[in-house]
Structure 1
Amino acid sequence: MAALAREELAALAAIYCGPEECEVLAVSETHGITFRIQITVKELLDTDILLKLLFHLPVNYPSILPDISVNSDQLTRAQCMDVKDKLLEQAKKHLSEPMVHELVLWVQQHLKCIIRQSTAVCSEKTTLSRGAGTEDGIWILFLHLDHMRAKAKYVKTVEKWASDLRLTGRLMFMGKIILILLEGDRSNIKEYLILQKTSKVDVDSSRKKCKEKMISVLCETKIQPQHARYNLTFEVKDYSTIDELQKEFEAAGLATLFSEFVPPLLK
C-alpha cells in the first residue's frame, strides 16, 4: 500500500479526532483502505446536517480516484447521490495528489448549494417525466435474505426471475449469509422486487408455501459511470470465507458497497 495513503489517513485521524468522526473500517495491502468520516454542517436550511462520508482508497490511490459513499438521515437518497456525484467531480481535479481533506472541506462549503440544486432538478424532472415508467441507465439492487427453507426451489425461482427480467448478478451464499446482487434496467429491478415480496417463493416451518417476509433491501441505486456493468450472466455462488466474498465485490468495483453493508451482517 502506498505510504502516501497511510500518511493521509493519519493526518485525517488527527483532524477528525472526535468520537465517531473518523473510523477505519478496513486496511489491506492488496485492496487499500476503507474509512468513514462523519461531519456536521452547521446552519443548513435551519438545521444541522450530519453527513457520513465513506471513502475507499485503492492501492494505486491517488493515481486512481477513491470510491465514495454518502449517507445522511437528514437528506433524501437522491440528494445523497447528488452530493456523491459532485464529490467525484471535485476528486478528478485533484487526481495524483492527496484529496480527501480537500473534498471534505469542499462539501462543507458547498452542501447548501448542492441541496438547493438537487431539489430544483428533482422538481423539474418530476414535471417533465411524470407518467414515465423507466429511468435511463443501469441500476443495482442489493438484498439480504434471512433464510431459505426450500433452497433448491427458491434458487430456481430467483434464477428464472432474473432470466425473464434480463437481470444479471449473483445469488451469494457465505455461511448463514444470503445475498442477492442484481443489475439491470430500473423498471425490471422494480418488477423483481415486487415478485420477491409478493410470490410464494419459500415454505414456512410447517412446509407450507409462503411469501418472503424476511428480506432487507440494503441498497437500490443507479450505477455510476465509473462502475461499468460487469455482470454478463446471473450466477449462484458459494463462498467459504468472507475474504472470498469481499474479492467478488472488489472485482466489480463495489468495494464501498461491501464495506458499508456486509460487515454489519457478521455481527
Structure 2
Amino acid sequence: MSEWCRLPEDAVTKIVLAALEEDAPWGDITSQTLIPEAAVVTAQLVAREPGVLCGVDVFRAAMTLTDAEIAMEFVVHDGDAFMAGDVLAAVRGPARGVLQAERVALNLVQRLSGIATMTAQYVKAATGTKARIVDTRKTTPGLRVLERYAVRCGGGNNHRYSLSDAVMAKDNHLAVLKANGVGDVTAALQAMKDRLPHTVHVEVEVDRLDQIEAVLAAGVHTVLLDNFTNDQLCEGVALIAGRALVEASGGVTLEKIAAIAATGVDVISVGALTHSVRALDLGLDIGT
C-alpha cells in the first residue's frame, strides 16, 4: 500500500500494549503452568470466509510484543482480497507466547478486516459514480486510528479525523444558536469563518432544502444533506450547483448506496463502516 496509508508504528504499539495488558495483566497462567517453557509451535492464520485483509502490523505487534522470538510471514497483505480457506500468514515461535498473544492478535485483525471488507462492498456498489465513500467519527473509542486505516484498506476515504481538524456545524450546533437568539445563520457562519485560519475546511449540515441558500451564502466548503430522500438529494445537488461539495449522510446502507451515489453527490458518509461492522471469521490453526 502507499506510504501515506500506513499506520504509525507508535500508535500500533500503544494500542496493542494496552490490549495485551488488559488480556494478561499478570501473565497467561494457563500456558505458564500447562505448556513446557521450551515448547515451540507452528501455526497458520486461516480465513474461514472471503474478505479483505487489514491488520498485518497489528497482528505482528501483538505477537512480537508478547515474545520477540515469534516469527511471522504474511502471504496476503493489507488491502488484499482473499477467499475462504486461504492461508494468510504463517507463525512460528515459543508456544507460550503464541498462545498468550492469540486472542488479542485475532480480535484486532478480525475487526479491522471486517471493516475493510465492508468498505470494499460499499465502494464497489458506488462504482461508476463520482461519489466518495467515507467513514465518520462513530469509531470504537481508542481504536480510531486503526479503524480509519481499515477503511482506507477497503478502498474508502476518511472524513475529518477529530473535532480539532475541521469545522462541521451540525443540527445541534444550529439548534443551540437558535435557542440563544441567533437567527441569522449566514452571519453566524461568516463570523465563525473570520475567526478561523484560511486553511480550515468548513462543512454545515442541513436537513431541509430551504436551509441550503443561507448556508451557501456564508461561503462554506461542503453542505451535508442529512437524511434526504433520493429525490431531495437530486434537488439539493441541482440547487448547490457546484458552489460547494455535497455530502449525503443518514440511514445509508449497502442496499441503498448505489441509488444515493447516482444522485450526483460528491461524498457519502457511512457510520456503519465502523459502528456496525461484524468481525471477519479468521482463525489461528496450530499444527500438530
Shorter chain as denominator, the TM-score bin is under 0.3
Higher relative contact order (CA 8 A, sep 6+): 2
TM, length-normalised to structure 2: 0.26
TM, length-normalised to structure 1: 0.28
Larger radius of gyration: 2
Greater fraction strand: 1
